[in-house]
């Protein structure tokens, strides 16, 4: 039996095979969407850049060479040019991918989990629990995200870890909203009534029965929000409150390049392009995932 | 002593200051191993009685006793009373395999030997054991309802509440599911409390039936009285005449 036959087996022999079979069908649906595949390719590229940074970088990203400063793109040895300290921009972008990726990864495993828990608990219990949790969510939503993140970083001190923390603390409210809305649609369904009638407690119901129904919309939302997270991380870097020099964070690089924006445009433009391409990749993938994961379109 | 005793039950829903009395002063008693039907048109409160027994509807007056004890919704209760819902497309979790759906009650109650019990449950309702790791969307409506029945029987209850278990299925599948339910009742000595709007289904399944209208009990009939068309009230007679042609077969 080949692998695809095993995955397509209508009578799987284990839970794992059943789950992998469903994932395989989702992958086939995703593969039909060329834009989503383009987005996925960009993200895979980012992963490769980050993983093989020492191999792909042509120079040390923090080695300064003042004689070689502000070389235009295409100059010998520096195909994207150099910045105001003579550092190779390509190498800095490659190493910057690591920082961007770690910011994304940390935010993606914290904010959605927090939002999911708060949203499902609020939606499931209703009443005053819902009122309290959702008003807290409203308060967080009422602040402009960047300003709130700025305030947090100002309190905690600048640095990449604090930037991640600040972003995660400001990014969860939309997930709580999404999760609560999904919870409200499923909490009165017969399958929840059935498991309640079997004696299941709230923790089991929320964790095992409601969260799986909320997960797809939250995952879609996370992918679409990743562009925003990259921009906020870059924004904090740009304002000097995220990654600190000489780290090669993309927002920091744009900030350094703004002094030379008119004469030496490439210093700010190249990291800007990197941010633009990665954000675009996440948006394209998110749109494709919506078609694949949405419970209303899946499984038909 | 009757296994299920409902005395003067009223259920009142309150929404935005308005009160809706879904059930008013209904009494009934079902001895063990009997199959008791509740019949009536939409909105007559028949499903609400089942939901009240399960704690899914607010009881405003009256008492419900199971085996002589006043109803408490604890783990002991759910092992005695289980329910099969009307719509098999809505009553199975769309992201759980049949295995997960059937082994969940075992996990909740800490019952071991899940593998064997799940396989047995599938066989008992006439599903191939190779279906064990399928998802609900890979099954037909009748197969799904068999899974829902298997799930209700996982905890080996005495009482099964059936909320129009076949009304979402087409006619040929309906008969199969009803025969399955009758067979399981005989094998396991179950007590059924069954809701339907279809007297033909009730006639096939139930020993006694309570006709309901507008939340009130209209008339209680035995199977013989139903077959002999010996109704006392006009409403029961009109309900009977609406489905008489299918009951003769």
Q: How do the domains of chain B map onto residue ranges?
A: 4-247
Mutate to test the interface with A, among B82, B105, B133 (most CBs of A within 10 A): B133
pLDDT value at position A299? 45
pLDDT value at position A300? 40
**Residue among B90, B133, B151 whose CB faces A15 most closely:** B133
Asked if residue B243 has pLDDT above 60, the reply is yes
Pick the closest to residue B48 from B87, B4, B8, B10 (CA basis): B10
Q: pLDDT confidence of A267, banded at 50, 70, 90?
A: confident
Output the average pLDDT for chain B.
89
Between CA A79 and CA A71 the distance in angstroms is 9
Other CB atoms within a 10 A radius of the CB of residue B173 amount to: 17
Q: What percent of chain A has pLDDT over 90?
A: 34
SS3 content of chain A, % helix, strand, coil (to 5): 75, 0, 25
For residue A290, cis peptide bond before it (omega within 30 degrees of 0): no
B92 touches chain A (CB under 8 A): yes
SS3 content of chain B, % helix, strand, coil (to 5): 40, 25, 35
Residues 6+ apart with CB under 8 A from A236: A146, A149, A150, A153, A163, A166, A167, A242, A251
Mutate to test the interface with B, among A190, A206, A210, A295 (most CBs of B within 10 A): A190
Domain boundaries, chain A: 33-293
The class that CATH gives domain B4-247 is alpha beta
Per-window interface: A 59-118 vs B, CB < 8 A: none
Q: Looking at beta carbons, which residues of chain B come within 8 Å of A195?
A: 93, 104
A150 and A241 Cβ atoms separated by less than 8 Å: yes
**Min distance A298 CA to chain B CA atoms (Å):** 10
Least CA distance to A295: which residue of chain B?
B94
B191 and B208 Cβ atoms separated by less than 8 Å: no
A245 exposure class (CB count in 10 Å sphere: 0-12, 13-18, 19+): middle
B18 touches chain A (CB under 8 A): no
Determine the 3-state secondary structure of B219 from DSSP.
strand
User: Which residues is B213 bridged to in the sheet?
Assistant: B216
The class that CATH gives domain A33-293 is mainly alpha
A25 and A9 Cβ atoms separated by less than 8 Å: no
A150 and A185 Cβ atoms separated by less than 8 Å: no
**Residue among B95, B109, B137 whose CB faces A199 most closely:** B109
| Mean pLDDT across A196-214 | 92
Contacts 24+ apart (CB under 8 A), A146-149: A146/A232, A146/A235, A146/A236, A149/A232, A149/A236
Q: Looking at beta carbons, which residues of chain B come within 8 Å of A126?
A: none
| Mean pLDDT across B189-194 | 93
Between CA A168 and CA A114 the distance in angstroms is 9
**Residue among B85, B133, B154 whose CB faces A18 most closely:** B133
pLDDT value at position B149? 95
B176 touches chain A (CB under 8 A): no
Per-window interface: A 168-207 vs B, CB < 8 A: 189-191, 193-195, 197-200, 204
Interface ipTM > 0.85: yes
- For residue range B50-87, list pLDDT tens digits in order: 989 988 888 888 899 988 888 888 888 889 999 999 89
Backbone torsions φ then ψ of B131, nearest 5 degrees: -80, -5
Contact A191 B91 (CB under 8 A): yes
pLDDT value at position A253? 87
B11 exposure class (CB count in 10 Å sphere: 0-12, 13-18, 19+): buried
């Amino acid at each position: 039996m080949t692998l695809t036959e095993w995955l397509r087996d209508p009578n799987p022999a284990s839970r794992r095979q059943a789950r992998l079979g469903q994932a395989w069908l989702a992958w086939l649906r995703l593969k039909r969407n060329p834009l989503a595949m383009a987005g996925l390719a960009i993200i895979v590229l980012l992963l490769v850049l980050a993983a093989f940074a020492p191999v792909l970088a042509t120079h040390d990203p923090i080695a300064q060479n003042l004689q070689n400063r502000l070389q235009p793109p295409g100059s010998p040895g520096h195909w994207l040019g150099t910045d105001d300290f003579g550092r190779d921009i390509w190498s800095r972008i490659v190493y910057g991918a690591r920082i961007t990726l770690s910011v994304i990864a940390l935010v993606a495993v914290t904010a959605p989990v927090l939002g999911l828990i708060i949203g499902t608990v609020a939606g499931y219990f209703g009443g005053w629990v819902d009122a309290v949790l959702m008003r807290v969510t409203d308060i967080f939503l009422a602040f402009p995200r960047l300003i709130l993140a700025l305030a947090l970083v100002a309190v905690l001190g600048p640095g990449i870890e604090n930037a991640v923390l600040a972003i995660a603390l400001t990014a969860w409210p939309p997930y709580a909203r999404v999760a609560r809305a999904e919870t409200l649609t499923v909490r009165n369904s017969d399958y929840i009534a059935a498991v309640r009638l079997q004696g299941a407690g709230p923790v089991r119901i929320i964790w095992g029965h409601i969260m799986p129904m909320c997960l797809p919309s939250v995952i879609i939302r996370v992918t679409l929000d990743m562009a925003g997270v990259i921009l906020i991380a870059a924004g904090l870097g740009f304002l000097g409150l995220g990654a600190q020099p000489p780290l090669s964070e993309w927002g920091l690089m744009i900030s350094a390049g703004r002094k030379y924006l008119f004469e030496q445009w490439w210093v700010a433009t190249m990291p800007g392009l990197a941010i633009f391409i990665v954000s675009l990749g996440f948006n394209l993938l998110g749109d494709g995932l919506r078609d694949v994961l949405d419970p209303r379109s899946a499984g038909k | 002593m009757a296994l299920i005793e409902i005395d003067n039950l009223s259920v009142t829903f309150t929404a935005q200051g308005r009160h809706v009395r879904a059930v008013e002063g209904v009494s009934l008693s079902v001895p063990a191993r009997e199959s008791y039907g509740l019949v009536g048109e939409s909105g007559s409160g028949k499903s609400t009685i089942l939901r009240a027994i399960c704690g899914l509807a607010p009881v405003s007056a009256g008492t419900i006793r199971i085996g002589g004890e006043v109803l408490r919704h604890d783990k002991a209760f759910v092992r005695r009373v289980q329910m099969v819902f009307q719509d098999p497309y809505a009553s199975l979790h769309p992201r759980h395999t049949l295995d997960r759906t059937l082994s969940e009650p075992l996990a909740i109650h800490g019952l071991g030997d899940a593998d064997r019990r799940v396989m047995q449950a599938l066989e008992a309702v006439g599903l191939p054991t190779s279906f064990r790791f399928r998802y609900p969307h890979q099954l037909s409506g009748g197969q799904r309802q068999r899974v829902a029945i298997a799930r209700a029987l996982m905890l080996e209850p005495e009482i099964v509440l059936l909320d129009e278990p076949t009304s979402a299925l087409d006619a040929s599948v309906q008969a199969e599911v009803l025969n399955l339910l009758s067979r399981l009742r005989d094998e396991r000595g179950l007590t059924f409390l069954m809701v339907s709007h279809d007297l033909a289904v009730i006639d096939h399944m139930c020993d006694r039936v309570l006709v309901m209208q507008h939340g009130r009990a209209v008339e209680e009939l035995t199977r013989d009285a139903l077959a002999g068309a010996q109704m006392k009230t006009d409403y029961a007679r009109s309900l009977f005449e609406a489905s008489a042609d299918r009951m003769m077969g």
